[in-house]
Amino acid sequence: MNDKIKINLQIADSNYPLTINREEEEMVREAAKQVNIRLNAYRGYYKNLEPEKIIAMVAYQFSLEKLQLKQRNDTSPFTEKVQELNELLENYFKEE
């Protein structure tokens, strides 16, 4: 069932009204929480930096982490190696 709910998220001192699936609420709220945690950490470390630059740094950090996870979960090199080994085995057994 597509049960939609309306929530308000506060991210970087701004409110964002969203309509989401009820089953996604916990994940959506946790994502906003993680953004705010990272923002506050950068704000504490870079006290004189403009808010737009801090937000850009946070976005970059999350993007980098996502790409690193994607690369780590990429199974194509293993799949290619398995195919190569299968071909070697097939050729070996054909010769006998």
Q: How many domains does the chain have?
A: 1
pLDDT in tens, the chain (96 residues): 579 999 999 999 899 999 999 999 999 999 999 999 999 999 999 999 999 999 999 999 999 999 998 888 767 777 787 888 788 887 878 776
Distance CA 36, CA 11 (A): 6
pTM, rounded to two decimals: 0.69
Q: What is the pLDDT of residue 25?
A: 96
Domain that holds residue 32: 4-95
Q: How far is CA 27 from CA 8, 38, 47, 81, in A?
A: 14, 17, 30, 36
The count of other CB atoms within 10 Å of the CB of residue 54 is 19
